[in-house]
Amino acid sequence: MAAGAVSAALRARQRETAEDRRLYVELGFAPVTCQHCGVEALVKKNSHKHTSVQWTAAGVASCLEINAARAADPKGFVLGCPRMSASIEEAVRDGAVVVPDA
Amino acid sequence: MTQAIKQPGESSVRTIDSGVLPERYARGWHCLGLVDQFKDGKPHAIQAFGSKLVVFQGGDDGKLAVLDAYCRHMGGDLTQGTIKDGNAACPFHDWRWSPEGRCVGIPYAKRVPLRARTRAWTTMERNGMLFVWNDPEGNPPIPEQDVPVIESVGSEDWSDWIWTTLEVNGSNCREIIDNVSDMAHFYYVHFAFPTYFKNVFEGHVATQFMESRGRADIGKGGQYAGEDNLLKSEASYFGPSYMINWLWNDFRGTSVESILVNCHYPIDQNNFMLQYGVMVKKLPGVDRDMANTIAGKFARSFKAGFEQDVAIWQNKTRIDNPLLCEEDGPVYQLRRWYEQFYVDIADVNEDMTARFEFEIDTSHAIESWEKEVAENLRRRAEEQAAAEAEQAGVS
């Protein structure tokens, strides 16, 4: 009976952890469409200087900037897409992406 | 999950979910060390993946082979034996095991029994290092997850590798992976001010891009400390355990380019072997010996940094539900990326591998840390002045 209680508590804790994971990974993201190539990504901003961008595999595959950077330097590290960044800035100005405490 | 949401004003104590240790070891290439350390004609023991391996130079090609250490005959330890004609000879009854894992001879027997095969690991020599491919499903290496070639290895313009190993006990290797997303620990543990910090996770690669300057209140304390020390760092894990870190240090107008390889292999689920190699690009007029000396200095300062990490790991608890603030890095997304190496290849999903970018706002952190550093410097000056005054009074 004690073992059952322990495993019930463990299951409850694992459920809460899974919920935490879901909140940190999904909560507060809004879709932004790149004005340049039409790729959509999910974006979250905790402040003006913070940006979180969740791409899809298909989105990266059709991003012209990332593909161009990789074609130019296949081994190079691509920090981001400047056109997506510009589109995010615009989405912030339009209010499509909300910046808390702004 | 509405029951998890508390009413306004209602607070509950947060508990730590220390989780459970993984049941398998990560799929991917694992570096076991520099190639040269194994090429002396002797069998070498490596405790890894919850077992023991024997590494030896086999056959005519001189390539390194890795087998399970325990002889399938009566369980003898091949690492305690010898190498005979390029085969591992067991010290117990002299059974000979080929680099491919076949028993090729038993001197006292007429015939080698059928099924006399042991586990041979797929190996690769690259960047002057020996790698083994681990896959719980037993599949061959994934070509897209090949270890990048570091062009500087063997180049006239660079030093040799300065190699260091550090066994970490009582911690699962996930702890060192977490560092990829941990901006704030660079200040507290490594004495640096990160001024720019961005993570990108995509496919099997997890990158940390950072610019930092050293803390003025700490002159010596690792690779990152010291106010005049400006650093640009690009560090990528290629797979679950092999990180290449390109570093550009600028110290009072002198730029030094260096490469740090930071890798590990699991000894078991609660211990791992941390290994790192440092090489520096030669400055004009610097010969190989001098470059190696400089690389040695770099290696010692990284050692100080890693030891600071280890001291934290050995005392912390495993935590599956970190509580984050907005200035923290994306540890949940990093662990989601890391998860891909712990599931069957058929269960790797786009959530784990799709590109994710996270740029941290370091402005508030810097403001607060600058105040703290200024306060530390002021207090130190005060204490020094007081000590001097006391000394003057005594004499």
The CATH number of the domain holding residue B105 is 2.102.10.10
User: pLDDT digits over B41-98, tens only?
Assistant: 999 999 999 999 999 998 778 899 999 999 999 999 999 999 999 999 999 999 999 9
Q: How many CB atoms lie within 10 A of CB B283?
A: 13
Tens digits of residue pLDDT in A33-51: 999 999 999 999 999 999 9
Which positions in chain B touch A80 (Cβ < 8 Å)? 198, 200, 357, 359
Q: Is residue B186 part of a domain?
A: yes
From A16, which residue of chain B is nearest by alpha-carbon distance? Answer: B4
**B187 Cβ contact partners less than 8 Å away, ≥ 6 residues apart:** B193, B194, B215, B365, B369
Please give the Cα distance from B386 to B392 (Å, whole number). Answer: 10
Of residues A13, A54, A75, nearest to B148 (C-beta): A75
Nearest to B53 by CA among B86, B97, B105: B97
Nearest CA in chain B to A44: B358
- DSSP bridge partners of B272: B168, B266
B223 shares a domain with B102: no
> B355 and A24 in contact by Cβ < 8 A?
no
Whether B326 and chain A come into contact, CB under 8 Å, resolves to yes
| Cβ–Cβ under 8 Å, residues B176 and B309 | yes
Q: Residue B338 is inside which H or E element, if any?
A: helix B331-339
Pairing between strand B123-126 and B82-84?
A: unpaired
Which residue of chain B comes nearest to A49, CA vs CA?
Answer: B361
Q: What share of chain A in percent tops pLDDT 70?
A: 94
The answer to whether residue B33 is domain-embedded is yes
Same domain, B168 and B238: yes
Among A14, A24, A47, the residue with its CB nearest the CB of B332 is A24
- Specify burial of residue A42 (Cβ count, 10 A radius: 0-12, 13-18, 19+): middle
- Closest-CA distance, B393 to chain A, in angstroms, reads 53
Chain B residues closer than 8 Å to A57 by CB? 350, 353-355
pLDDT score for B1: 38
| The model's pTM | 0.92
Nearest-CA residue of chain B relative to A22? B332
Q: Which of A17, A83, A99 to mutate to test the interface with B (most CBs of B within 10 A)?
A: A17
SS3 of B32-88: the string is EEEHHHHCCCCCEEEEECCEEEEEEECCCCCCEEEEECECCCCCCEHHHCEEECCEE
Contact (CB, 8 A) for B355 and B200: yes
CB contact under 8 A, A60 and B330: no
DSSP one-letter code for B17: -
Whether residue B247 lies inside any domain: the answer is yes
Interchain proximity B1–A52, CB inside 8 Å = no
Within 13 A of B303's CA, how many CA atoms are on the CB side? 13
Q: Is the separation of the CB atoms in B248 and B211 below 8 Å?
A: no
| Cα gap B259→B277, rounded to integer Å | 8
Chain B residue closest in CA terms to A66: B355
Chain B neighbors of A47, CB-CB under 8 A? 326, 361, 363
8 A C-beta contact, residue B195 and residue B362: yes
The reply to whether residue A60 touches residue B332, judged by beta carbons under 8 angstroms, is no
Residue of A nearest to B235 (CA): A77
CA distance B331 to chain A (A): 9
- Whether residues B124 and B166 fall in one domain: no
A26–chain B nearest CA distance, Å: 10
Mutation to test the A interface, candidates B183, B244, B245, B355, most A Cβ within 10 Å: B355
How would you write the pLDDT of chain B (395 residues) with one tens digit per residue? 344 555 555 568 889 999 999 999 999 999 999 999 999 999 999 999 999 999 999 877 889 999 999 999 999 999 999 999 999 999 999 999 999 999 999 999 999 999 999 999 999 999 999 999 999 999 999 999 999 999 999 999 999 999 999 999 999 999 999 999 999 888 888 888 899 999 999 999 999 999 998 888 876 556 666 667 789 999 999 999 999 999 998 877 788 899 999 999 999 999 999 999 999 999 888 888 988 998 888 888 888 888 888 999 999 999 999 999 988 999 999 999 999 999 999 999 999 999 999 999 999 999 999 999 999 999 999 999 999 888 887 65
**Domain spans, chain A:** 28-94
Contacts of residue A46 in chain B, CB cutoff 8 Å? 326, 361
- B96 and B89 Cβ atoms separated by less than 8 Å: yes
**B362 domain residue, yes or no:** yes
- How many structural domains comprise chain B? 2
B355–A55 C-beta distance less than 8 A: yes
Min CA distance, B343 vs chain A (Å)?
17
Residues B205 and B102 in one domain: no
Kindly state whether residue B18 falls inside one of the protein's structural domains: no
Nearest to B350 among A51, A56, A78 (CB): A56
Same domain, B209 and B256: yes
B2 domain-assigned: no
More confident residue, A2 or B270: B270
Residues B137 and B188 in one domain: no
Burial of B233 (0-12, 13-18, 19+ CB in 10 A): buried
Q: How far apart are CA B213 and CA B229, in angstroms?
A: 5
Tokens of B142: 């994934």
Range of the domain at B227: 162-371
CB contact under 8 A, B356 and A53: yes
Q: What residues of B are in contact with residue A53 (Cβ under 8 Å)?
A: 355-358
What is the CB neighbour count within 10 angstroms for residue B352?
21
B369, B214 contact by CB (below 8 A): no
- Whether B359 has its CB under 8 Å from any CB of chain A: the answer is yes
Residue A81: closest C-alpha in chain B = B357
Tell me, yes or no, whether B252 and B346 share the same domain. Answer: yes
Asked if residue B3 belongs to a domain, the reply is no
Domain at B167, CATH number: 3.90.380.10
Give the whole-angstrom CA distance, residue B119 versus residue B253. Answer: 53
pLDDT tens for residues B163-173? 999 999 999 99
- Which residue from B166, B155, B161 is spatially nearest to B129, judged by alpha carbons? B161
Question: Which candidate from B1, B15, B356 shows the least CB-CB separation from A55?
Answer: B356
Q: Are residues B103 and B193 in the same domain?
A: no
Contact A54 B332 (CB under 8 A): no
Stated as kind and residue range, the H or E segment containing A54 is: strand A51-54
| Residue B200 contacts A where some CB pair is shorter than 8 Å | yes
Contact of B202 with chain A, judged by CB distance below 8 Å, is answered with yes
Residue B183 in contact with residue B192, Cβ under 8 Å? no
Cβ proximity of B165 and B191 under 8 Å:
no
Stretch (H or E) spanning B374:
helix B363-394
Whether residues B244 and B181 fall in one domain: yes
ipTM of the complex: 0.94
H or E element that contains B233: strand B229-238
Q: Count Cβ atoms below 10 Å from residue B157 Cβ, excluding itself.
A: 9
Using CA atoms, how far residue B183 sits from A3, A53, B1, B210, B332, in Å, is 40, 18, 31, 9, 14
What is the per-residue burial (b if ≥16 Cβ within 10 Å, else e) of B30-42? bbbbbbeebbeee
Task: Assess whether B176 and B316 both reside in one domain.
Answer: yes
Q: Are B324 and B350 within one domain? A: yes
Residue B231 lies in a domain: yes
Closest chain A residue by Cα to residue B200: A79
Distance CA A36, CA A68 (A): 14
